[in-house]
Structure formats: C-alpha cells, structure tokens
C-alpha cells in the first residue's frame, strides 16, 4: 500500500527519545524548555508547547478571553479540531466560505459575517498555503478583532519573505504524527503577545500559577496557586525530545515535501480532467497534496477513491465541511457555495517524506485509469 501520509523517524530521532527514557523523567520537564527555546530561535518569537494542535487553539482562544456569547469566524473547510476548540470555549463557530483557487478563506465572506459579537477570526492554512493573509491582518487591525492562525499545515511555509509564525497575531501549530514535523503528538502557540504566552504556560498545567517554570527544572510546586480554568494540556519530555530532533532537519524536510508537490504539479498541469490548486511550492511547505476533479460529484469522487484503493493507493478527503456536521449546525450557518462545490471534487493524494517520484508516476497513471473508467 502507498500510504497517504506517515511519520519519518531517523536514528537520531530514536536516540533522542531513548535518552529521555533512560533518564526516567518522562513528564513535562527540561526537554520541553529546550524544544521551546529551539522553536523560539526558529520563529524569533516566544513559544509555548502543549499537548496537541487542538489544545493550542483552545488555549489561545481562552487566553484572548473568548467565551460564551462570542463568535469566532472560521472556514468550514477545516479539520473538526478547529471547530471543537471554539466549542470548548463555549463560543459559537461562524462558518465562512473559501476561494476556489487555493481553498483558503474568502475575505469577502468573512467581512459579511463580522458582527458585534465577533471576537476572533481563525484562518486555516489549507494544505500549507495561507491565502490572502496580509489583507486579513489589516482588517483585524482596523476592527480590533484578534487573529489566531490555524497553522497546523504550514510549519515551514514562507509568506512574503516571512516565516509563518514569525509575524501576525497568534499562530498555532500541530506536531501530530503526520504533520510537517512531529513530536508524536503535540502542538505550540507562537505569538509576540507575552500575556498570551504566560496565560497558556499556567493554563496548560491545570491553571497552577508559575508551575511551568518549576517543571522546566524537573521540579513540581508544593503550594499551588490557582486562579484560572486550567487543563492538563502540557507536553511531555518524550514528545519534546522527538520534536526538537525533527526541528533540526526542517530544511531537508521542507525541500523534500516541496519537490514532491512540484513533481505532482508538473505532471498533472496538462491533465484536462484535473484542476490544480494555486499553490506556489517555492514558498509553501505542503502538508498534503490536494487536487480537484473537474465537474465531479460526491459519488464519482468516491468511486475514484475506491479504484485507487484496489491499486493499493491510499487517498484522503480534506475535509467534510464542518457547517454540515450536526454538532456545529446552527441558524448562523449559511449556504457556503464554494465549500459545498469543491467538497464534491477534492481528493488528497499521497505525500510523505518516503514517497518516491516513481510512486508518484504510478499514482498519476492509476488516477488517469480511474478517471477514464468513470467518465
Ligand atoms: C492536525 C490539525 C489540527 C489539530 O492538531 P492536533 O495536533 O491533531 O490536535 C488542527 N487543524 C488542522 C487544520 C489540522 O490539520
């Protein structure tokens, strides 16, 4: 089976984790501080590590004061995690539409959906691309609305000569097993807003004030001071050691991902049945490779997935629109034209560090076979 995505673990990664195991201090400790310091050097901004990308989003929302009655605008085309993080703060996710060219947020639709209750907008960096992020940041400055980037897909992506995470308001990354770099699981929040960083440092360890500082020294506080709602959302030393080791080879990881995506693009661009996304892989570090099947519907697309499976090719679907899921549906949700159109057409092809160009040739050949059979 050609896998859709997978982790890539080197001997050095393994040795870093083994070292933590041998020290027998597995929870949150000095390795988390080391990983955070490395990330801080990378982004040139303060970083706080947490247990997942989802908890990064939830804690960032909590840190800026998002609560019951507030609205958070978010593209419907995202992982369930983004919507659940908003719900976890008892706020209302307001689903926005996307642009067809890159499947990133539609600024026009976001503008329509801003109300007095809008506290935050979460752009989702689809497949690693970021869309018209600078215009969104300008809009945010004008309106006073906070921006939390769901940057789970865009670790390493550069936008207008700046690394994602190194500018803007708040950026949240995921280190789950298949993301651009992994810590097994995990995530981080990056922002120059020290208040947000310090709030999350407490909130991730059950709201215990200054507990993070003690943990960095492999210690625990004796008299806890608790004044806010906290969670057990910290990162462990095991995770941090793996994450730090992966971060050391981000340049190499980025190059391979970019070159595989460009190879797909070059070999698919003349295909009349396929619409490529407008993503420039000289700057984007892709997490997934998504194409649109021209004039398809859901059933025909699902048939393609089935045929590729018989050819031992695993594919994905990113994602089922969240505004159509029962838990998130509300009167606030409108018909989202582009989201509902592209949902019928999208399919995600394999992309991971161990994928070979000869396998991409085989995937494209099999895809053409499937399209011929169906059309
Ligand atoms: C992976 C992902 C998340 C959540 O990250 P986890 O680490 O899995 O919790 C959030 N948003 C998007 C778009 C993702 O792909």
Taking only the tens place, the pLDDT of each residue in 96-128 is 999 999 999 999 999 999 999 999 999 999 999
- Whether this prediction's pTM lies above 0.85 is answered by yes
**Residue to mutate, 79, 85, 124, ligand 1, most ligand atoms under 8 Å from C-beta:** 79
**What length is written for the chain?**
375
Asked if 267 and 274 count as a contact pair (C-beta separation under 8 A), the reply is no
Query: Residue 45's pLDDT is what?
Result: 98
- Token pair 């690394």: residue: 163
Indicate the top mutation candidate among 176, 181, 321 to test ligand 1's pocket, ranked by most ligand atoms within 8 A of CB: 176
Average pLDDT, the chain: 97
| pLDDT (0 to 100) of residue 223 | 86
**Cα–Cα distance, 84 to 170 (Å, whole number):** 18
Ligand 1 nearest atom to the CA of residue 150, by list position: 11
Lowest model confidence (mean pLDDT) among 40-44, 78-82, 214-218: 214-218
Mean pLDDT over 168-192 rounds to: 98
**Closest C-alpha residue for ligand 1 atom 2:** 152
In angstroms, rounded to a whole number, what is the distance separating the alpha carbons of residues 170 and 64?
A: 10
Question: What pLDDT band is residue 334 in, cutting at 50, 70 and 90?
Answer: confident
Segment 161-166 mean pLDDT: 98
Q: State whether residue 27 is helix, strand or coil.
A: coil
Rounded to the nearest angstrom, the distance between the alpha carbon of 80 and the centre of ligand 1 is 8
Compute the distance from residue 247 Cα to the ligand 1 centre, in Å: 18
Span from the CA of 47 to the centroid of ligand 1 (angstroms): 17
Q: Is residue 206 a contact partner of residue 231, using CB atoms and an 8 Å limit?
A: yes
User: What mean pLDDT comes out for the span 32-39?
Assistant: 98
For the chain, strand residue ranges (E) read 47-50, 71-75, 92-96, 118-121, 146-150, 158-159, 162-163, 170-174, 187-191, 274-276, 289-293, 346-349
Closest protein CA for atom 6 of ligand 1: 53
Query: Does the Cβ of 81 fall within 6 Å of ligand 1?
Result: yes
pLDDT tens per residue, range 139-157: 999 999 999 999 999 999 9
* CB of 123 sitting under 6 A from ligand 1: no
The DSSP call for residue 357 is H
Percent of the chain clearing pLDDT 90 (strictly above): 96
Q: Whose CA is nearest to atom 15 of ligand 1?
A: 152
> Is the Cβ atom of 78 under 6 angstroms away from ligand 1?
yes
Report the separation in Å between the CA atom of 151 and the middle of ligand 1, taken as the mean of its atom positions: 9
Residue 31, pLDDT > 90, answer yes
Residue nearest (by alpha carbon) to ligand 1 atom 14: 152
Q: What is the DSSP letter of 83?
A: H
Ligand 1 atom index nearest CA of 85: 10
């Amino acid at each position: 089976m050609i896998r859709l995505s997978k982790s890539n673990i080197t001997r050095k990664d393994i040795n870093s984790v083994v070292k933590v195991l041998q020290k027998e201090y597995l929870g949150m400790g000095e390795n988390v501080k080391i990983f955070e310091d490395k990330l801080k050097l990378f982004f040139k901004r303060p970083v706080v590590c947490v247990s997942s990308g989802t908890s990064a989003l939830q804690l960032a929302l909590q840190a800026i004061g998002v609560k019951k009655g507030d609205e958070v605008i978010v593209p419907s085309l995202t992982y369930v995690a983004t919507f659940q993080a908003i719900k976890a703060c008892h706020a209302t996710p307001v689903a926005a539409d996307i642009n067809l060219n890159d499947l990133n947020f539609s600024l026009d639709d976001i503008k329509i959906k801003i109300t007095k209750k809008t506290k935050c907008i979460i752009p989702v960096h689809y497949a690693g691309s970021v869309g018209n992020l600078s215009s969104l940041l300008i809009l945010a400055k004008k309106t006073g609305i906070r921006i939390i980037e769901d940057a789970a897909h865009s670790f390493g992506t550069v936008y207008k000569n700046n690394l994602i995470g190194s500018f803007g308001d708040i950026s949240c990354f995921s280190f789950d097993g298949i993301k651009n770099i992994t810590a097994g699981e995990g995530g981080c929040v990056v922002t120059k807003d020290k208040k947000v960083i310090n709030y999350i440092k407490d909130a991730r360890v059950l709201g215990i004030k200054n507990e993070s500082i003690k943990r960095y020294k492999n210690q625990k506080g004796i008299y806890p001071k608790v004044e806010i709602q906290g969670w057990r959302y910290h990162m462990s030393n095991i995770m941090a050691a793996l994450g730090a080791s992966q971060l050391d080879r981000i340049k190499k990881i980025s190059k391979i991902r970019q070159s595989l995506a460009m190879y797909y693009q070059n070999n698919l661009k003349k295909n009349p049945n396929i619409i490529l996304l407008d993503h420039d892989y000289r700057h984007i570090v892709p997490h997934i490779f998504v194409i649109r099947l021209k004039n398809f519907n859901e059933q025909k697309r699902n048939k393609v997935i089935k045929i590729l499976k018989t050819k031992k090719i695993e594919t994905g679907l990113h994602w089922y629109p969240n505004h159509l899921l029962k838990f998130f549906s509300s009167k606030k949700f409108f018909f989202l034209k582009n989201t509902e159109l592209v949902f019928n057409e999208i399919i995600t092809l394999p992309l991971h560090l161990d994928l070979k160009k000869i396998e991409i040739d085989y995937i494209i050949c099999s895809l053409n076979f499937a399209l011929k059979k169906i059309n």
